[in-house]
Amino acid sequence: RSTCFFDCSSTVNELAKLITDQKFVAVTDTMWTAIELNKKENVSVIMLGGTVSKSTGSSAGTFAISMLEKMQPNYAFIGIPSITEDGVLSVSGLHDYEIKTTILKNTEHVFVLADSSKYKANRCFMKIGDLAHIDAVITDKDIDPEFEYLCKSSGCKLVIAQ
């Protein structure tokens, strides 16, 4: 069975709502996404442990990272608040940094979900990688045309969601 990681992004949570009843193991750091995926009959859900954030419902800290370091998901879906003009992916907090860098290191295929407003957004505090580290960016039809070239030159596929 395939294993998929879903991070604490609200966009990723929306993806979880759209998933049909396919058979796979879902790993998440977010209770809202865990609840959503647990409604699917054939999806087995693993929730990372740790301290739970009141604002995001996501778990963080040593326990969450320790669990995640032992896993090697086939796929990961992560949200990103900033993709710069040179393809740098960055986040603003330590929790996001730790989870996302661990996922980039341990996952076979990584997909970034980011609406067009995230491209050329202000660079966030912590760099987690760049477009060359991910398989695809899934975004909306309003994305800047030069972003397609940036993805292609980085070896990253661009998917326009409907």
pLDDT of residue 125: 87
pLDDT of residue 90: 94
- Count CA within 13 A, CB hemisphere, residue 148: 8
The rounded Cα 24 to chain-centroid distance in angstroms is 17
Mean pLDDT of 87-105: 94
Structure confidence by residue, pLDDT tens digits, 5-35: 999 999 999 999 999 878 999 999 999 999 9
Structure confidence by residue, pLDDT tens digits, 123-149: 788 999 999 999 999 999 999 999 999
pLDDT of residue 123: 78
By DSSP bridging, strand 136-139 and strand 3-6 are: unpaired
pLDDT of residue 124: 83
pLDDT of residue 154: 96
Q: What HEC string does 12-66 produce? A: HHHHHHHCCCCCEEEEECEHHHHHHHHCCCCEEEEECCCEECCCCCEEECHHHHH
pLDDT of residue 162: 82
Tokens, residue 10: 């609200």
Structure confidence by residue, pLDDT tens digits, 116-125: 999 988 878 8
